[in-house]
Chain A
Amino acid sequence: GAVVSQHPSRVICKSGTSVKIECRSLDFQATTMFWYRQFPKQSLMLMATSNEGSKATYEQGVEKDKFLINHASLTLSTLTVTSAHPEDSSFYICSAISQGLEEKLFFGSGTQLSVL
């Protein structure tokens, strides 16, 4: 089946630094990828939709200048948390759609971000 690889799985950073999270579709091309955020004991919240070759679409309340999304190829989307603060500490998850298998979404294993 289709595989989505997400790196790193865990990152600890100091407040004010930027962190980049990568999401790769390993055996399929993904024109669309999604980024979610999940706080402890809560459900996944959609942050943005990443489209290859165009600007990402952000959900209401998500700061596009803080959460930079780049989808430069059909297999890679990146989320950069800029000037991270402790309140940005969360579990970030990416998801991708495989062409021809639109009824299923495939998810990365998630990135646990801890900002000190």
Chain B
Amino acid sequence: DAKTTQPNSMESNEEEPVHLPCNHSTISGTDYIHWYRQLPSQGPEYVIHGLTSNVNNRMASLAIAEDRKSSTLILHRATLRDAAVYYCILRDRGSGNTPLVFGKGTRLSVIA
């Protein structure tokens, strides 16, 4: 799997937007960009994924650079419950029944 680079940690104030960056300069044309997050003492949970176009869902938005070498996960209004480790993972379209390979992720702290 192509490698991703994320900041180790970020901090945000409650109810403010958060932009979590991810660099993936070696991304291939068939790699989807996935984001998962892991709350303390929990298993990871799916957040969002995309290929080329920006994506929105009820949890977050995903902004993908035009050259696809980077992406940004956007939490529109951070809450205390959003404090977690956020993982940016590339996954080939044809991965089928293959596991996710986790990097170190970004630890997001939310300040009240």
Say if A and B assemble together. Answer: yes
Question: What is the interface of chain A, defined by CB distance below 8 A to chain B?
Answer: 4, 6, 31-32, 34, 36, 43-46, 49, 91, 93-95, 97, 102-110, 112
**Secondary structure at chain A's binding surface: helix, strand, loop or mixed?**
strand
Question: What is the interface of chain B, defined by CB distance below 8 A to chain A?
Answer: 32, 34, 36, 38, 41-46, 49, 87, 91, 95-97, 99-105
Question: Which of B32, B41, B95, B102 is A110 in contact with, Cβ under 8 Å?
Answer: B41
Question: Which of B34, B43, B105 is A93 in contact with, Cβ under 8 Å?
Answer: B43
**Secondary structure at chain B's binding surface: helix, strand, loop or mixed?**
loop
Could you tell me if A107 and B95 are in contact, using CB atoms closer than 8 angstroms? no
Residues of B within 8 A of A105 (CB): 36, 46, 99-100
Answer whether A108 and B43 are a contact pair too, CB < 8 Å, given A32-B97, A103-B32, A103-B49: yes
Answer whether A110 and B42 are a contact pair too, CB < 8 Å, given A43-B104, A44-B102: yes
**A77 CB to nearest chain B CB (Å):** 13
Give bound CA distance, A6 to B43, whole Å.
10
Could you tell me if B102 and A34 are in contact, using CB atoms closer than 8 angstroms? no
Residues of A within 8 A of B36 (CB): 105
Could you tell me if B42 and A109 are in contact, using CB atoms closer than 8 angstroms? yes
